[in-house]
Amino acid sequence: MALRSTCPHILHIQQFYEDSLKERAQGSCDSCLAKGPNFWLCLERKCGYVGCGESAMDHSSKHTEKYNHFVALNLKSRRAWCADCDCEVFPNAIVHKEIEALVKTKTVREEVHETIMQQDIIRNPRCSPLYRDSFVSEALAEYLQDETRVRGLTGLRNLGNTCYLNSGIQALSNCPPFTQFFLECDNFITTKKKPYIAQIYKRLMLDIWGRKRHGYMNPNSLVSSFKQACPMFKGYTQQDAQEFLRCFMDRLHEELKEPITSEDDSEEEDERSPHAESPSVERKRSTRSSTEAAYSDSELSNLSDGEGHRTRARSRRHENRHRTISASHVELRTDGSDDGADQDGTPEADQAIVEAETGQGDSPSQLHRTHSHENVTPRLKDNRGKKRKAVKYQSIVSDVFDGKILSSVQCLTCLRESKCKETFQDLSLPIPGKEDLIRIQGMGSNKPNTASCSTSSDGSGWWGWFTSWFSGVSSWLYGPSITLDSCLAAFFSQDDLKGDNMYSCEKCGKLRNGVKISKVQELPEVLCIHLKRFRHDSFSSYSSKISNYVEFPIDNLDMSGYVSEDCSDECKIYDLTAVICHHGTAGGGHYTAYAQNWLNSRWFEFDDTYVTEVEEIAVMNTEAYVLFYRKKSEKAEELRQTVSQLCQQQEQSLIQFYISLKWLNKFNTFVEPGPITNSDFLCKHGAVPPHKAAVVDKLFVKVPQSVWEALHNRFGGGPVVNHLSLQPCLTCQAEIDQLTRRREEELSNFIKLHEAFTNHLSWTGDIYYISLAWFNQWEAFVKAKEQDPPGPIDNKPIAIIKDGYVFNRPGGGSAQISEETWKFLHSIYDGGPEIVHRVSRTAVADTPANDPEEEDVDEDDESTE
């Protein structure tokens, strides 16, 4: 028997018939009569012992130790393990060939090999700039030599109701644009932000996709670190997988984010660089800015309102910094918003659109803009009261998952149109009811045709007539079938603002009837879709689940019918790459994930420690909860082929150019990678950033001139680099040193002044109040926890006005400081308003906070003493 493993112990294994394996799997442990399914079958010749695993008495391990029978087969996953070699083994055959259960046709095998070869060609060490001892190249080469040696099939142990985390991690693990960054670009992951979730996740990905092929792993480090970063997930209660994904990716973004260096950044989010050579790709540099407006309105009737059935997680949504588009297309949330539920249906919510369009009014995010790290104390004094640009950040999370939605509201009286652009990380789609489906169908068939996940029919012949007739009868009896397309149509359908939900038109100065429409302006590389299966009643605390089957396509999800006219994405077609399913009720259940392995294009079910191959039909019939769709394009594959052919040219140019390894990895895994970003290893002065100097030689790849020209002509970007000194930038180092001295000076001066204030037991001077929200930002800056200093002091959230005087708002959110401390901070950061408790005016200062005549401080109010 030809063997395909270096393990010597598989020389002594025996083969079994398929019926025998099924019978043994349904039986019990030979020692303790424990029931399955976690049984291990000893493969030693003339043995055949069936023992229970760790979930019971672990008699299989005891059998191994007693008789030195090292190779065993898991009867559920059908994967073999050698206890002596401590690795997964790959015998040529365990099941007798004459009744082998799964027989792949020649056509399928050829298609899989063609896909693998396309991925491998640009990583070939002889012709590729991307090789560099590539982790992925190793996996590809190994699979091409032996089809059975597939990586990425490692289960995750359930540590007590952590199936929500296991399913989410397995889904993300099988999104190549996301995972291959952690496998290939690990030198970009140098975060110093605790609890180091990015580093822990990177190590987990390296283990899952490593050559050892563990049967399952214990994700204890990731679980504990994540719960430390997101306390709402502490304990062993059941949690929501979608809530986990949002919090987890938000945390990864915070640890991996880097400011986008651009001299001509505009305050307008969507302004493009005038130097962009390829407008169609320049906008793909995903950003996360704190300047985008948000608004919300009432949802469509009869649609699920339950974003999450976990009340505790929902009540702390403000802890998540990322943006989400959810509910019907009118529920938009941004930083700090608590689900938007309090704003639904209010005219003030829509007013944010007008302010964003006209430039009037200041959003809360605009009141907390951050200074560039270039600014030092003297410059701050010279620029008092000036609001600075919001710093835009980018990370692999934003590159892969961020998209943009453009929502417009039009007043039907004056026809004024206001627009709002919103960044989203996932789309939370309502599951339409019967009445909504009928209404959507009545709107006309102007939606794109998506590839159905059911058997297609050309509509001709008796079979086409029969399926059409049967579909009509079923629709009449049970209502129209629910498809992902109908959920998208409900999400993006036009919303009439009338009755209790009228639009507050700034031009008319009153409530008016209006129309709201939302469209996708920028499509993400990986589209994450959340089906809102859970309803939660905040009054009765009653939760329910919508278990209706939603039909979704495996291939060719067409988003072209839901994009705006100015959407510049060339590719609007997606293929499914992973799906998370919830089994059970709103009160309790279990999460599993189905994902397509990018090595062999086959589908697998991930159920905690168990990983089992399944057919596509099994995926189609699942009760999907979160779906991950990845862009696909033949043009992108053709371009990669062209680049690899240029690399194979015998005669190369004498000059080589530098390209960011991070961008090259995007070129290999993205359909639209965007412009070349050599700023990944360069500072704004064109040199090496000091914090990257130690690893800069691992952050770029040298390519021939022909390759550089082909990529630069297609994608633009830069800057052009064909020579690089590996020494750190002296200008950046001087700025860092200056910023360090500033931190030390501000911190020491504050401690000195504040100790004089707190140690004086009979303080008779005036007491000043300062916002804790602003003070916490300043403290994080001086303690080097944040790179950028805070903006101007913002006391507006803690201030109230009465009789022309400004008083501190009771109820917390402020701290007391001395006059000297206030003057010290104010001399650097400016801002206000000044809130003083004067000893000589105690009676006035102690005015009750609930006085009906008191007023909140507006952003345009001048402070008065």
List residues with catalytic annotation. 163, 590
- Counting Cα atoms < 13 Å in the Cβ hemisphere of 606 gives 33
d(CA 844, CA 842): 5
Question: What sections of 720-818 are H helices per DSSP?
Answer: 730-758, 772-782
Q: Describe the crossing of helices 705-715 and 634-647 by its angle, rounded to 10 degrees.
A: 160
| Cβ–Cβ < 8 Å for 718, 676 | yes
Angle at the Cα of 157 from the Cα atoms of 155 and 162, rounded to 5 degrees: 115
For 287, phi then psi, to 5°, come to -130, 160
d(CA 408, CA 427): 18
Residues contacting 699, CB < 8 A, separation 6+ = 187, 188, 660, 661, 662, 680, 681, 692
For 504, phi then psi, to 5°, come to -85, 100
**CA neighbor of 241 nearest in space, from 229, 233, 252:** 233
What's the one-letter identity of residue 631?
K
The first and second tokens of residue 611, run together, are: 């990983």
Strand order in the sheet with 403-411: 417-424, 403-411, 514-522, 495-497
d(CA 622, CA 605): 11
CA 103 to each of CA 5, 14, 95, 106, 186: distance values in angstroms, whole numbers, following the listed order: 22, 21, 12, 10, 38
Strand positions, DSSP E, 615-725: 624-631, 656-660, 676-677, 700-704, 717-718
**How many C-beta neighbours within 10 Å does residue 136 have?**
24
Beta bridge partners of residue 482, listed in sequence order:
none
DSSP 678: G
Angle at the Cα of 401 from the Cα atoms of 345 and 565, rounded to 5 degrees: 65
